[in-house]
Amino acid sequence: MARVLVVDDSIPVRAMLREQLEILGHEVVEAEDGASCLALLREQSADLILLDGSMPGLSGFEVCERLKADQRTREIPVAFLTALSQDADHARALEAGANGFLQKPCPAPVLKAQIDNLLNVAHLTEALHRIKRNLERYVPEEAARILNENPDARPALTGERTGLSVLFSDIRGFTRYSEHHDPETVFRVLNTTLSFQAELVRTEGGDIDKYIGDSLMAIFRGDDGLARAAAAGVLIASVANARLARDEPTLAIGVGVCQGPVVAGNVGNVGRMDFTVIGDTVNTAARLCSAARGGEFLLPWDDAETLPMLPQAERREITVKGKERPLQVAVFRGAAEPEAGRDLARAMTGKRAAAGVAAPTAGRPA
């Protein structure tokens, strides 16, 4: 059963259509003109619209154009049911965005076939939208954006050099925790912790590139990308870490951030590829994350010198795998109180950071 909106200025026509549609099992709502149709759809929804072409005030063509221009109603199928019979009228209806065109009087079998066809197409379209939304949950946000902007492009194994900031976070003690807890608990704690971190990253305008076991990788674009990545790092080391430590005292989160040149593009083969960023900047961010102790956030000292939070940092020299020389890094320890961490993040970006992010409890179902 579908909800069909009948728009016609003739009371007898609306009554006849109501009878036919209710026999077919549909729910019927009516509008006597174009203005009433638009007003009704601001308050209610419809699965299909049967629209007269010639009415007082707004014509059916004008109503259809407005419906198809509105994000809220553009997906509702519209079929003209009108006494207008010229080819030019049919063409005008299609140009306005109509999905069907029937002439009065319309035989009941034809009306039924048109309605069934349009509802079937609408259901298939909605199914495709659901599939698209679900698939977007499994690919990096940047990849989804590129594909949405260029739907006809054929993905290739190519990349583009660009500059950005990369953040890695990792849960300390998670391997041992997994050894001593049942898989369901481990799965729940992991998802709760990563979900909260991801919300903090998005609060600072970052994109989640991927999840790697108990680690998270995010990228931050733009001239202020480093400040936003660092703010996210402070928030994770403070707010997320405090939440996790409260519920699971044996666990803690370490964070590393680095900015610099990367190549962003598709990696793999033509049959199965992954959109990601690679380069020494990425490797350094990952190594800094590995070097960070629980509740610490590390970034190169040279990068930290550009940020207003430098006085809060400890300078440390570390040796990391893959680097010939030791690295001078700035070490920030997560604030004991989450609000202090938020204050520090706000000072770095000059905006209200992470306010209103509700954190689920790590050790219990979210």
Q: What does the pLDDT look like over 210-260, one tens digit per residue?
A: 999 999 999 999 999 999 999 999 999 988 988 888 889 999 999 999 999
- State the sign of the Cα–Cα–Cα–Cα dihedral 276, 279, 285, 290: positive
DSSP-derived 3-state class of residue 77: coil
Instruction: Dig out the tokens for 111 from the structure.
Output: 């009306």
Residue 25 has pLDDT above 90, yes or no: yes
pLDDT score for 308: 77
Residues 6+ apart with CB under 8 A from 189: 177, 181, 248, 251, 362, 363
Q: What is the pLDDT of residue 138?
A: 63
- For each of the domains in the chain, give its residue range(s) and CATH number, in order of start: 3-136 (3.40.50.2300), 155-349 (3.30.70.1230)
* Average pLDDT value for the chain: 86
Q: Which residues of 82-120 are buried (b: 16+ CB within 10 A; e: fewer)?
A: bebeeeebbebbeebebbbbbebebeeeebeebbeebbe
pLDDT in tens, 308-349: 776 678 899 988 887 888 999 999 887 666 677 777 777 777
- Pick from 16-20, 97-101, 126-130, 232-236: least confident: 126-130
pLDDT for position 36: 94
Distances (CA, A) of 205 to 89, 208, 224: 49, 10, 10
pLDDT at 24 over 50: yes
Block residue for tokens 């320890």 = 333
Give me the DSSP letters along 179-223. HHS-HHHHHHHHHHHHHHHHHHHHHTT-EEEEEETTEEEEEE-ST
On the question of pLDDT at 184 being above 90, the answer is yes
pLDDT bracket for residue 158 (50, 70, 90): confident
This prediction's pTM: 0.66
Q: Are 240 and 200 in contact (CB under 8 A)?
A: yes
| β-bridge partners, 217 | 168, 210
pLDDT at res. 359: 39
Residue 64 to residue 86: CA distance in whole angstroms: 18
pLDDT number for residue 148: 67
The predicted model gives 182-192 an average pLDDT of 93
Cis peptide bond prior to 105, omega within 30° of 0: yes
